[in-house]
Structures are given as C-alpha cells and as structure tokens.
Amino acid sequence: MDDLIMPHHPDLPATGETANPVLVEVIRGSFVESRHRGAIAVVAPDGTVVHAIGDVTREMFPRSAIKPVQALPLVESGAADAFGFGDVEIALACASHLGEERHVSAVREMLQRAGANPEQFECGAQPPSSAPAAQNLAKADAPPHAIHNNCSGKHAGMIATALHKGEVVDGYTRITHPVQQRVLGVFESMTGCDLGRAPRGTDGCSVPVWAMPLGNLALAMARMADPSDQPESRQAAVTRIRAAMAAQPFYIHGSDAFGTDVIAAAGPDVLVKGGAEGVYAAILPALGLGVALKIDDGASRAAELAMIHTLHQLDALTAEQRTILTDRLHPVQTNWSGKDVGELRPTTALTFQSYGDL
C-alpha cells in the first residue's frame, strides 16, 4: 500500500495554519453578500500535484463524489456482466439521482435482474430530490421509499455484487461485510491512502465513509482518467464506467442538474460527480488528470461554480461547450418574481499555480 502521496508542500499552508481562500462570492446588486472558502487539487496519475489552491492536504470526507470509484467492484467482480447490466445500470451505480420516474424504474429493473427487491435496501427512505417527482408522489398519497433515495442505484449495485458472490445481503452496509471490505480495498488502491488509520464515519445512505486528503481524492480521479498503471482488469472496469457515465448523463444526476448538463455538453472527456457538503470531483481522460474540490461551508452552489471555472482554466471545455454551459459559467441570482438580482462569481483566488512533483 502506498503512503499518503500528499505530504506537506512548502508553498502550501499546513492544516490549521491558514484559512483556505475565498473562491466564490455571491453578489446581490453590487454588494458581496456571501463568501465561500475552499480548496482545489488537480493531480496526475503518478501523484504529481499539477495545480493546487488552498490546503489540499487537509482531510475531508469525499461523500458521493467518489461513487465512480465505489462502483468498480460491481464491474470487476463480474456481477455487472452476470446480470446483464448496461450503461444505464452502471451509470446508476455511480449516481446521486433525483428520484425521477426514469431513475426509479431503472433501479427497480436492476434489482429484478439481480433477483433482489427494494425491501433489501439499507439506504433509508428519502423523498425524491426532484420537486416534480416529490409532488407526484404526494399527489399519489404514496410515502417515500428507499428506492427514491439518491443512492439507490449504488445500493442496487452493491446488492447485486453480494448476490453474484454468493454472500448474504443482510448487513451489506456494515464495514465488516465483504461488500464494504471490497470497496475499502479499491479506495485504498485508487487513493493511495492507508484508510485503516483514517477517520471514519457513516454516509447519508448508511455505508461507511473514510476521510482522506483532498489531493488523494483527486489522485483517485486521475487514476480513473488514466488507469494505464493499473491491472488489466481494473483498466477494463474503469473504461466501462467512464463509457457508461458519458453515455447516460441523465442517470448520473437528472433533469437540469449541474453534473448532467456538464457531461451532456462535454461527453467522455469531462466526467464530473458531486457529493454532499460542497465536494466535487472530475475525471478528465483527455488530459489524464483528476480534480477534487471542497467548499469549506458545504455550499453546493459554490462547488458547482468552482468546478466549472476549474474546467475552464484547464481548457477542458471547448468554445462550443462553454457556450452551451454559459448559464453554469455565469449563474444569475433571481428572485421569486423572476427578476435578476445578482450573480455568483469566482474570485481572483480561483487562479491556478503549479507545484510540480511532490
């Protein structure tokens, strides 16, 4: 197992010494109403920190931004092939979906193919994150179910893997279960962290979550972007997951969602995945780089803006793609009457400096 590949760099503030810079400002009229601090890491597969803003050595929980890595055992174990999962199902295993009808129907189909049922979910009931879907559920006087949970696709993949391996499904979210032990092994391999010593918590969907330096999350994304130094089976699994994300962006997030819009515009060269508490990650196969960012106060609006401007600075988006994503690059604040009252904008701190090899 590799040591942590993000030792303190002399040009970077050590944890706790200096606050991360303000990356995003919220403007109302001409007044700065809110400020969001954060950090960004851009890393190559060999661990080189290509760019860094703020403290990329600080530990954080990657939350759902790491789901594409979390989905590797589904493919590597042979479960995806055994149950005939295609791009939709593999995309859902990486997803934080909005609980729209197409999401729910596809998750139900995943379970049926695996010989499982929604009552085996351990992710907990959650109302659909899509307002229209939640309204339709309320009109039908139907309570939210675990299948509406934004992580239900990931859980369907975990259940399918357990069944394929002949394991008891009950308790698949516990850290001692083989499902989570496989995930832990993949996390350690892809992030370069010894997570046995890392702070650990429980994610919103009940699976274990391990803290890691932001730079190591970016390293995992870099190895997803360029897995050439990985075993052939891992390379094949990475390629398949990337292809599924690119082919089915709706199933990664949903209607009018930032991640879906970016992947739909940029295709296989830019695969983004968000997580709770202001975390966002990107897999950039054309550049062979991984990106991870964390907004300190957990604001998703700031994480999305920081990510799109990171992609812009890296020239990961073409001029045509930037035009398609204009509203994401320059988001406007509107009030309930639909009037423009302000904007979100990146600060000058959101400008990359290069750090070279560690």
Domains and CATH numbers, the chain: 22-356 (3.40.710)
What is the C-alpha radius of gyration for the chain, rounded to an integer number of angstroms? 20
- pLDDT tens readout for residues 198-248: 999 999 999 999 999 999 999 999 999 999 999 999 999 999 999 999 999
Query: Can you read off the two tokens belonging to residue 2?
Result: 């590799």
pLDDT at 12 over 80: no
- pLDDT tens readout for residues 160-172: 999 999 999 999 9
Mean pLDDT in residue range 2-20: 51
Closest C-alpha to 312, from 26, 40, 44: 40
- Pairing type for strands 289-295 and 332-334 reads unpaired
Distance CA 111, CA 167 (A): 16
Buried b (16+ CB within 10 A) or exposed e, 333-345: beeeeeeeebebe
Query: Can you read off the two tokens belonging to residue 291?
Result: 């990106």
Average per-residue pLDDT in the chain? 93
Distance between the two ends of the chain, CA-based, in angstroms? 18
What is the DSSP annotation of 99-155?
Answer: --HHHHHHHHHHHHHHT--GGG--S-----SSHHHHHHHHHTT----GGGSTTHHHH
Mean pLDDT in residue range 256-285: 97
- pLDDT tens readout for residues 298-326: 999 999 999 999 999 999 999 999 999 99
Question: Greater confidence, 354 or 320?
Answer: 320
Q: What is the structure's pLDDT at 15?
A: 46
Percentage of the chain beyond pLDDT 90 is 92
pLDDT at 272 over 80: yes
Mean pLDDT in residue range 39-65: 96
Distance CA 111, CA 20 (A): 43
Question: Greater confidence, 220 or 6?
Answer: 220
Q: How confident is the model at residue 352 (pLDDT cuts 50, 70, 90)?
A: confident
